[in-house]
Structure 1
Amino acid sequence: MSTSATNGYQPATEFDPIVIDSFKAYDIRGELGVNLDEHIAYRIGRAFAQILFQRYQAAVANQASDDMVNLQPAIVIGSDIRHSSEPLKQAAIKGMIDAGVDVIDLGMTGTEEVYFATSHYHALGGIEVTASHNPINYNGLKLVKEHSKPISADDGLAEIQALAESGQFTKDNQSGKLQLLTDKGAYIEHVMTFIDTDKLKPLKLVINSGNGSAGPVVDLLIDKLIQAGAPLEIVTLHHTPDGNFPNGIPNPMIEANRIATQQAVLAHKADLGIAFDGDFDRCFLFDENGEFIDGSYIVGMLAQAFLNKYPNEAIVYDPRVIYNTEAVIKNHNGKAVISKSGHSFIKQVMRESGAVYGGEMSAHHYFRGFFYCDSGMIPWLLTIELLAITGKTLSELVTGYIHAYPSSGERNFHLTTQDAPTIIRAIEEKFSVQKPTKSTLDGLSLNFGAWRFNLRASNTEPLIRLNIESRGDEPLLATKIQEIQQWLALQGAVPA
């Protein structure tokens, strides 16, 4: 084990109360120099470490369950490739060390590597410094506690915010120790357990890492696959990690950002296109025709694959687009469990239900075998295994879903004159005469039988998000998309 040294950041010796408004529902995300900088990262790191360490000490003193007592009193931390991530990480490390807690620096990582390392090292918790797909002038911190469990505003995040803002830190006479452990071997071995390499058949893959943190992990996985005899041909795109993002911020949810992957799939006559966001906790798939496959249909495909392997298991999904996923689960004798969208909510519901798999239309996929956490690497591995087992193309696997339950895809709107709650109340009133089935689990969902929509405020950005779907009626879907978008325009909601 080698030792890492923090940078030249020097924290204050006295801490006045401040307001930190970069805390969101289930992570921390802020604009650099506005509501996130090294001083704030230090305070967050110190508060996070102090609270987790005090919980650990109480568990040991009270001879609590092995769930806490057998932990290593250390916290793991990694960061993505953004130029601002390393300084923020070093400031957070300094805060944790000053709290008297040992720190394991994982180097440059994707978020799922922190999830893995938290459980693998039996750590008190973990931090990934990342802004994922947000603009270059943003960054953030994703936090987990022991056993890679999520931390949300209702379950610890508010406590961390309050302590970080107050600056009332305890003074520990002994500083924590810092180790640099960048080997990814155990993580790669674990991810590879999700597929049977003996079943793989010849495939050509285009993999677009978006100049984010995915490239090194993709290389390691490809090496393992080739060593196992997998007959794969790989075309890499925007593969080198580069914090300048010369090909744009890696966010395949933006249609313009899909073009390079689509063109490469067609040019190389590939069987599958794969793209990632900056911290690769999301995986986006393109079929052999270069068509982008909406995440909700991938959820249905993976749910079916898991239910074929594990009959009668629970599958968790979010309420934005549900028709296809619920039909797949019912037709394959699974247990349908709906959850509010967002990783901390999905993970909690998965743990409570023991679900084998959970998926969001936003391309987050969660796995019981991965500590109930999301991974961007496991989905494409499962997909190439599924293509081999079924002998079908990706388009053949999902076309039936798309025709049976067409959807609008997620549409985002900036709000110019009214806030999200006002618009949501107004649209509920607009449709109340039709007496739809209503759910407020996440924003507003109104189900009219032949079609439904979900309208919700973003948890991380100043946007309102709309999803519409129908039961096999594309003309009806088109009509409702036009109707609701025109109505939103009258409310001052401008397409993002």
Structure 2
Amino acid sequence: MIKPEVFRQYDIRGIMGEDIDEESFYLIGKGFGTYLHQKGLSSLVLGGDARLTTPSLKEAFARGALETGCTVIDIGMVATPVLYFSIWKLKTDGGAMITASHNPSNYNGCKLNLGLDSVYADELQKVLHIIQKGEFASGSGTYTINTSVNDDYKDYIISGITLERPVKVVIDAGNGVGGLYLPEILENLGCEVITMYCEPDGSFPNHHPDPTIEKNMQDLSKKVVSEGYELGIGLDGDADRIGVVDEKGKLLFGDQILNILARDYLKHNPGKSVIVDVKCSKNLYDDIIKYGGVPIMYKTGHANIKMKMKELGVEFAGEMSGHIFLADRYLGYDDAIYVSCRFIEVVSKTEKPVSTFLADQPKMYNTPELHIDCPDDRKFEVVAKVCDELKAEGYDVLDIDGARVNFPDGWGLVRASNTTPVLVTRFEAVTEERMKEIQQLIESKIYKYL
């Protein structure tokens, strides 16, 4: 059968050979095909990342979906945003992307889509329940290959971006699939581009494909500084998350990338709302207001954010983790390749160095996103207990996603990760000493319940 725990909040994910294998992906294909049929739908695009296990899992998924009578269009090795683009371009009912995103090379998984909406939470559990019951639709589907969407995707992005001058940029794709797209797009836009680790290699031989972690961006930082380039851009394994380093080689946090883009967006869209997740700096919330926008704090998770954007009609949103969503001049999903181009567009409008873009903001001391190991079956319970205790003690607690505890001079956060067996924390304050005090307060309560 299939391990229920691989069906996570936003996607299916596990260790190859231990949690998932070809047989489980055959069943996932049958389950998703049946799920579509129950809604009167039958067509899907199927793509996969550069992981060494992806081709066999993709073949197994396709076999399962075809046995339910689905029309399967295989678009080959692609970035996750290209899968989303293909659903839109080819007008299919849904899509499936075989990927484990930024997880280590021994992981793999699958993201499912109904139109451009993620199949997640309760809807993803419906796919699991179909598999558990073994009640599958039956039929004889059709299988075709269409790799022309890759060129369509590149052309679509190039046609929507205008640079005011050439920008000098270094790209580190982390041996993920983003290297198949971003260098070519930027060169076509007139940029001077140096590439690093842009050849897809599912063993990720150079560094872990997560551009939000400083150690993974060290090579990129050194190259930007040594070459005297204006910035560096890193992509995660399936190119839906972005990382940026400035001309000094300093890593920008996800909320700083968001902040720079938000200022530009609000210049052209005064009064509009911007959705940002609970992990983001107070500076970002204050800055959105300062630039005439309305900040909306919401729970973390790409599927959550996309659904909230659709519900509220919001065109711009993002997360600390580097997922950034633009429905302004684009299609509304998280696409680090497109977001890179929008960021470079902002850079091209000025001669000022990237390191000065947010220099006018108040100095805040903050941690990156920190992780505390906690088993999947206990993490939500631990967070709930910490949240209840903090509320009982009279603290100002926002519980939209875990507990974000607000103080006049800072804040702290604890929430359960929806993708890994960890608790996620982050802390910020006006002084480093105060930041550490807030961190100590919240961590002391976490460790009480671990």
TM superposition score category, shorter chain reference: over 0.9
Q: What is the aligned partner in structure 2 of residue 246 from structure 1?
A: 205
1:150 aligns with 2:105: no
* Counterpart selection for 1:476 from 434, 438, 449: 434
CA deviations on 1:215-267 (whole Å, 9 max, x unpaired) are 11023303421xxxx2x221111121112211132122333212111111111
Within 5 Å, which residues of 2 pair with 1:320-339? 320-339=279-298
Contact in 2 for aligned 1:453/1:469 (Cα 8 Å): yes
CA apart distance, 1:350: 0.4
Over 3 Å counting, the alpha-carbon distance change for 1:304 and 1:107 in structure 2 is same
Q: What is the aligned partner in structure 2 of residue 374 from structure 1?
A: 334
1:181 aligns with 2:147: yes
Over 3 Å counting, the alpha-carbon distance change for 1:85 and 1:440 in structure 2 is same
Question: TM-score, normalised on structure 2?
Answer: 0.94
* Counterpart selection for 1:458 from 417, 422, 425: 417
Q: Secondary structure at the match of 2:414?
A: strand
Q: What is the aligned partner in structure 1 of residue 224 from structure 2?
A: 265
Over 3 Å counting, the alpha-carbon distance change for 1:157 and 1:418 in structure 2 is closer
CA apart distance, 1:380: 1.8
Contact in 2 for aligned 1:275/1:283 (Cα 8 Å): yes
Q: What is the aligned partner in structure 2 of residue 207 from structure 1?
A: 171
Over 3 Å counting, the alpha-carbon distance change for 1:486 and 1:78 in structure 2 is same
CA deviations on 1:399-420 (whole Å, 9 max, x unpaired) are 334x444321111111389933
User: Which shows bigger deviation, 214-223 or 36-45?
Assistant: 214-223
Contact in 1 for aligned 2:376/2:420 (Cα 8 Å): no
CA deviations on 1:48-105 (whole Å, 9 max, x unpaired) are 1222133135xxxxxxxxxxxxxxx520011110010111111111111111111111
Over 3 Å counting, the alpha-carbon distance change for 1:490 and 1:322 in structure 2 is same
CA distance in 2, matches of 1:187, 1:417: 37
* Counterpart selection for 2:129 from 162, 175, 182: 162
Q: What is the aligned partner in structure 1 of residue 97 from structure 2?
A: 128
Within 5 Å, which residues of 2 pair with 1:4-15? none
> Which runs of 5 or more structure 1 residues have no equivalent in the other structure?
1-16, 58-72
Q: What is the aligned partner in structure 1 of residue 75 from structure 2?
A: 106
CA deviations on 1:460-488 (whole Å, 9 max, x unpaired) are 10101101122x43432243335544665
> Which runs of 5 or more structure 2 residues have no equivalent in the other structure?
none
CA distance in 2, matches of 1:482, 1:399: 29
User: Which shows bigger deviation, 478-487 or 38-47?
Assistant: 478-487
Contact in 2 for aligned 1:20/1:35 (Cα 8 Å): no
Q: What is the aligned partner in structure 1 of residue 162 from structure 2?
A: 196
Q: Percent identity?
A: 29
Q: What is the aligned partner in structure 2 of residue 216 from structure 1?
A: 180
Q: What is the aligned partner in structure 1 of residue 39 from structure 2?
A: 55
CA distance in 2, matches of 1:482, 1:267: 39
Contact in 1 for aligned 2:174/2:206 (Cα 8 Å): yes
CA distance in 2, matches of 1:175, 1:353: 37
CA deviations on 1:148-198 (whole Å, 9 max, x unpaired) are 1121122x21111111222211222x332323334412211222344213x
User: How many residues align structurally?
Assistant: 449
1:415 aligns with 2:370: no
CA deviations on 1:289-308 (whole Å, 9 max, x unpaired) are 00001111111211111111
Q: Secondary structure at the match of 1:243?
A: coil
AA matched with 2:146: L
User: Which shows bigger deviation, 482-491 or 36-45?
Assistant: 482-491
CA RMSD of aligned residues (A): 2.2
Q: What is the aligned partner in structure 2 of residue 365 from structure 1?
A: 324
1:308 aligns with 2:267: yes
